[in-house]
Amino acid sequence: MRHFLTSADLTRDGALTLFQLTADLKHRWKAGRRGAPLAGRTLALIFEKPSLRTRVTLEVGIIQLGGRAVYLSGAEIGLGTRESAPDVARNLSRWVDGIAARVYAHATVEALARHATVPVINGLSDFEHPCQALADFFTLSERGLDLGAMRLAWIGDGNNVCHSVIQLGARLGASIVVACPPGYEPDPRVVDAIRRHGGRLEITEDASRAAAGADVIYTDVWTSMGQEAERARRQEAFSRYQVNETIVGFAKPAVLVMHCLPAHRGEEITDAVLDGPHSIVLDQAENRLHVQKAVILTLLGGSLDDV
């Protein structure tokens, strides 16, 4: 793996290898084993969008591995306006050991990867959020779920997080059902690729049907960053897709409820569910740190022996 731009960059075995590395890194950190396998290495963080989890976990992750982070806001760089993505990639490649980018257009992170001579990590684009999906499925495996036998219901918008989750889930053998209103389905290219490779994926308009017998229910905001002008229309379109106690009642008794955060409480999910006994949202958030450390260590060539 040269870069990590999409869940499609991973095979099943590749994902499971990263999960094992993540588990080892998490265990060693909590046991007080604070090695520095990436001492002297630097990760550039390019952020066109605001962030809590992605920025903190990437920055803390490289620090915990012994390296350093350099934060660059969109205003400082002006990707595509003040300076082109290829020029940014070429320059940064002379100074840093890796680049993590949180951008609006997926084409931007692709351009960075094409022109960089160092690894590039997608910290979110309008098309995918692969680090989130890795943390999600690591969290489920940590909870003891059989990833190849479980049923995951995605309820809501077929957005960037959805793309990453359903692609990685399909690679791991999960049965996936996406429930969304007409016109808000996942990108047909993602759906076709999953089905072409034998993935088990169903698209429906019925949220209760999707939740029926589910081991996992996953939702995300109805209006993502950059879609604020569509808020009223989306609120109306998704009004029947709220993850509430009624929807959770259709799933298995031990169902786990996931959300990548931040949540719009009272819209796509209720307080009772988000803060309830089925929710594992904080476990997901914590594991962003550990899974991204595994990605960084893998791409930058560090050794677990030094942790």
**Residue numbers annotated as active site:** 102, 129, 132, 220, 260, 288
Name the percent of the chain in helix, strand, coil, to the closest 5.
45, 15, 40
Give the largest Cα separation in the chain, rounded.
55
Please, what sign has the CA dihedral across residues 242, 245, 251, 257? positive
**Whole-number Å distance between alpha carbons of 281 and 278:** 9
Cis bond leading into 186, ω under 30°? no
Q: Which residue has 């963080």 as its token pair? A: 45
**Whole-number Å distance between alpha carbons of 205 and 292:** 34
**Whole-number Å distance between alpha carbons of 168 and 8:** 7
